[in-house]
Amino acid sequence: MTTTTTADDRITITMSERTPVKISLIEWPIVARADRHDGKVECQANHLWTIRVREHRDGRRIVYGWMRAGNGGVPIGWRGSDGGYLVAPVAGRPDDEETVRSIRRVGGIIGDDGMAAECIAELPAETL
């Protein structure tokens, strides 16, 4: 089965220091991500974690992530965590340093610094 994305496909992202943002998946493709779950298979996991970095063609980036309940269930009253940051471009180019800081901050929000390191490693490499 092939999944396609249309111009109408939008998601709402919970942000940490501002109101949520709604974006088009086509206009904001993923440039880096890290995912984890605590079950043998994801569909049986109790918890799901993700950190994602999306980039707009104008150089802005959205770094966000969550820890959510999986299909395996969690205790009544359990609450997950979500957070995200909008990273402004510098001179029309993505701000890599601020992106890395934002990834580390999201890793702290979801309680997984290792995933933050994995996501940073997925960013486009800098040519020296």
Taking only the tens place, the pLDDT of each residue in 64-121 is 999 887 778 877 888 889 999 999 999 989 999 999 999 999 999 999 999 999 999 9
**Alpha carbon of 28 to those of 31, 39, 119: distances in Å?**
9, 30, 17
Q: What is the mean pLDDT of the chain?
A: 90
Q: How confident is the model at residue 3 (pLDDT cuts 50, 70, 90)?
A: very low
Nearest Cα neighbor of 79 from 104, 110, 108 is: 110
CA 2 to chain centre: 23
Residue 115 · residue 37 · CB < 8 Å = no
User: In one letter, which amino acid is 5?
Assistant: T
Residue listed under structure tokens 């709402």: 12
What's the pLDDT at 2?
42
- Cβ neighbours around 72 below 10 Å, total: 17
